[in-house]
Structure 1
């Protein structure tokens, strides 16, 4: 049973949620939050049932020399009767002053905290319902990647990007950093005059406004209430290319010509997504291609998806990343997991939705290839994970590997196959409409699907095994596995290789990224040096320009202590910051103990300065 907080119940006159952006429209009414037990966010210090943030307005300067964002954050608050304080999330912010809207100082304190979670910032608000926080971020703020010119594609100008998911926004914005506390926002960002700022909202001054000191000021706003991790910023030497009426791509000028052709199906993807589950409600869908240190494949920031440059391999083999981030515009951005214990509601729904977009734009076999590879990942993670880490609903960030994506999407695919695609599509379209701009929990989803799809059908309930999928470990016995004819041919090549066939006899010349992944990951994990040398010499794996291929090869080769692959790792690991691609390589080296750990630590010592803080934390833990 979903309940509004006492504070939200004060909004008795709230209108229906806005479903289409408009430059003249007021921002969304306060988005409801959930107060049921499973919606309690243990990764936030906020107490939204007492007082909560409804709107954030930033006025910040990006100081590249000091590596800090500094200025003010003005917070609009909603508080229950009698509330005297608000608790915000803070991770290393340097707070200088907090005042009410008239400039009267307000008492505040930062409490004891934790390295990962940060600390509570408690402000005594009295009757104030707007507070102004003057502050700056620290140079090592975990959400911010400050890059020297040498670490960019153009090599001439610095670059900055933020990455707030899951709980890193609190390191550069003082707010209630919980996905269940949705907030509208606006921002004015001042940057060096030769750089451009872009954010995950409406771009009010696309070219910036010149201000004193040879700088430019850029203004943005987001009138829809969003979870704070989706407030995102990038500053750099950027150019823009339109791809369609409402789509386009930003990138460094030296990169733009390479990446734009691989993104020219984006408008078709948006149209396909709308045909499945209703209108795209965010206005524009633009993308930003980041420098190589970006730690993820993509990030679904509203109106401005962030993309890794590793996805551009010249063959459009990896544009499923775009389909995935686009799908988040419904699952994740529109309907958001209330806490990170239910991250599958974002990622599992999106992975299923992504595959449906791929099928429409590129055909059912392309979608089958991707689903089949996802099944491989699912089996691997189930085998390697502790049972408790295989439950869709569990501890926050507890799910192992890619299970939020793979087990979650397999769950939805199983429902689709059981009830039929047309019926499930109609249900999902209604689901997104019913919960638009709201947080959601696993319990809330189960309540919704029982009310609007199962409708008391006991036989269907038994077939679907909803509670087993949601709350129990492992994989239920009704799981649907989609097999690909394309990958079945690759499986024949794997079988031949296992039987000792010469590598030169394998017809690999026309393989794309997915075929290579299936082949390399399907080979025996233990191979002699002679066989590895044959693979490398014939397929040119150590020199592959495809980051996916190189990662899979290095994982296999270094896991067998194949010394000739070390030079390839030394070249690859420092220039790729995507965790999905470098984690397996570092892990393979670390597993080789006295041989591999020194190599890993030596390479990492040189690579660490160019990695994003999120990546650094991951590799630090792996190599400790």
Structure 2
């Protein structure tokens, strides 16, 4: 993500809950009691940066989403088919779902008990789920989706617009339009079908599928087969100029809100998506997904750009009139490697996303004839507040300057220390070995030390968390 200088929309604070154990035998609910080892999954991922979000006891492998949205009423109906594997002997589990009503739930094809609990859908299958068992959950739901508000991080989620809707936000957003294990530690593939009134576009992640129309409605289909963190999913509905083509043999789909200039800076910037991806691939390794693209929205509430997987979404403030802004495109496309393919295991390590994406802006600027990465390093070094750490910045500062710019400084300091050949080998090894997975700062330091064959922990400590300006390498 990169901000335009406006307050970034974010999520509300949800009170952290403690998993309850099963004290009695409920044969119709399948709860066999603690003596048999079955117990409820955790109702929280245990991440203090997003309390109340994410769940335990299972691992999702796939979401099949079939939603219908009517902008005239702001009503959404949906069916989510979720494939998961139990990671413990599971008597009960939770899914994150905000604001929408649930009409019915099945587990393994059988009706399951369910209840709502402050942004959670609590599901009790008829029989306990053995550890290692794959199971399918189907949830039918409906209602008027709403944004969620966080006093610290702002508001976002599902936003009704004049011509449709936008579902977008970090660190949370998905739970406002489908039931989900809403934490990046549990990535999954997606198939998304979105039905909207004829004439509107319905844009999402991944490879476009065949469209179909009936009775004044059109269904748009999208498929993201590479595991995706839930906050990277998006839904953009409305009047858009959609350009579909191919790049390097893969679909490239861009879209710009029809209310924005047809030949303005927004259209010109996203038109460079393929060119920018190719440059970044020469530095970071092969592009990790099966499609490319970008979406520019016109809603002023979106004061940021977000690296939604394979198809970043850009707020309108980044593009003024005819002035292009390829730097923000480079930032969000760099996230396809750093943040999307290699995702966070916990939000306190968010510099792994933003530090590398900010550094990619410096690389692109130099490549595009602007300031060198070294000059940007010197300028940022001179203006950095070293009292704020990049790692464990605190929930209120997880989108602060230290995460972005101090993180980029650490990346360049690594480059100056180990030399270009080793530096780019570290980056390509990281994106290759960790592709489609999750990681922490400790994982990156360990890999960098292995590839460089030298100790680097003191360097990272100084540049990421030290309280004084580090000595220049």
TM-score (norm 2): 0.79
1:244 & 1:51 partners in 2: Cα distance? 37
Could you report, residue by residue, the CA deviation over 1:344-385 in whole angstroms, capped at 9, with x for unpaired residues? 11111111123213322x135265675566557x63xx38xx
Closer/same/farther in 2, CA of residues 395 and 371 from structure 1, 3 Å limit? same
Matches of residues 426-575 of structure 1 in structure 2 within 5 Å? 426-453=425-452, 455=453, 457-458=454-455, 462=458, 464=459, 466-470=460-464, 472=465, 474-478=467-471
Write the distance in 2 (CA, Å) between the matches of 1:141 and 1:181: 23
Structure in which a larger fraction of residues adopt strand? 2
Answering whether residue 123 of structure 2 is matched by residue 123 of structure 1, we say yes
Offset, 1:168: 2.2
Task: Identify the residue that residue 96 of structure 2 maps to in structure 1.
Answer: 89
Q: Bigger shift: 394-403 or 55-64?
A: 394-403
Q: How far apart, CA to CA, are the structure 2 residues paired with 1:346 and 1:242?
A: 28
Alignment of 1:345 with 2:352, yes or no, is yes
Shift of 1:393: 2.3
Cα distance change, pair 278–252 in 1 and its aligned pair in 2 (3 A): same
By how many angstroms is 1:473 displaced?
5.1
**Equivalent residue of 2:111, what SS?**
coil
What value does the CA root-mean-square deviation take over the aligned residues?
Answer: 2.6
Which residue in the other structure is 1:536 paired with? Answer: none
TM-aligned CA deviation for residue 239 of structure 1: 1.8
| Larger relative contact order (CA 8 Å, sep ≥ 6) | 2
Question: Is 1:339–1:396's contact at 8 Å kept on the other side of the alignment?
Answer: no
Q: Secondary structure at the match of 2:179?
A: coil
Which of the two has higher C-alpha Rg? 1
- Call closer, same or farther: CA 1:475–1:271 in 2, change over 3 Å: farther
CA distance in 2, matches of 1:474, 1:177: 34
Shift of 1:297: 3.3
Q: Would you say 1:74 and 2:77 are equivalent positions?
A: no
SS, match of residue 346 in structure 1: helix
Cα shift readout 1:294-352 (whole Å, capped 9, x = no counterpart): 52332111221111222223565622000001101100111111121111111111111
Q: Which residue of 2 aligns with 1:163?
A: 168
Q: Which of the residues 142, 145, 153 maps onto 2:159?
A: 145
Deviation per CA, 1:592-622, whole angstroms, max 9, x where unpaired? Answer: xxxxxxxxxxxxxxxxxxxxxxxxxxxxxxx
1:323 is paired with a residue whose SS is helix
Query: Unpaired runs of 5+ in structure 1?
Result: 1-38, 114-118, 149-157, 481-624
Q: CA deviation at 1:478?
A: 2.6
Secondary structure, counterpart of 2:81 in structure 1: strand
CA deviations over 1:387-428 (Å, ceiling 9, x no partner)? 5x5342243453463221111111111111111122101111
Count how many residue pairs are aligned between Structure 1 and Structure 2.
408
Residues 466-502 of structure 1: per-residue CA shift (max 9 Å, x gap): 23444x353541357xxxxxxxxxxxxxxxxxxxxxx
Is the 1:414–1:478 Cα contact (8 Å) retained in structure 2?
Answer: no
Partner of 2:207 in structure 1? 202
- Asked if the contact 2:273/2:293 (under 8 Å) is kept, the reply is no
Structure 2 vs 1, CA of residues 337 and 80 (structure 1 numbering), >3 Å: closer, same or farther? closer
Whether the 8 Å contact between 1:392 and 1:469 is mirrored in structure 2 is: no
Structure 1 residues 254 and 46: alpha-carbon distance in aligned structure 2, compared to 1, 3 A threshold: closer
Q: Given the two structures, how large is their TM-score scaled by the length of structure 1?
A: 0.61
Q: Corresponding residue for 1:407?
A: 406
- SS in structure 2 of the partner of residue 390 of structure 1: coil
**1:423 aligned partner:** 422
Determine which of 223, 226, 239 is the counterpart of 2:225: 223
Structure with the higher fraction of residues in helix conformation: 1
Give the superposition deviation at 1:134.
1.3
Whether the 8 Å contact between 2:80 and 2:139 is mirrored in structure 1 is yes
Give the superposition deviation at 1:268.
2.0
Cα distance in 1, alignment partners of residues 114 and 268 from structure 2: 52
Give unpaired runs (5+ residues) of structure 2: 1-44, 130-134, 149-156
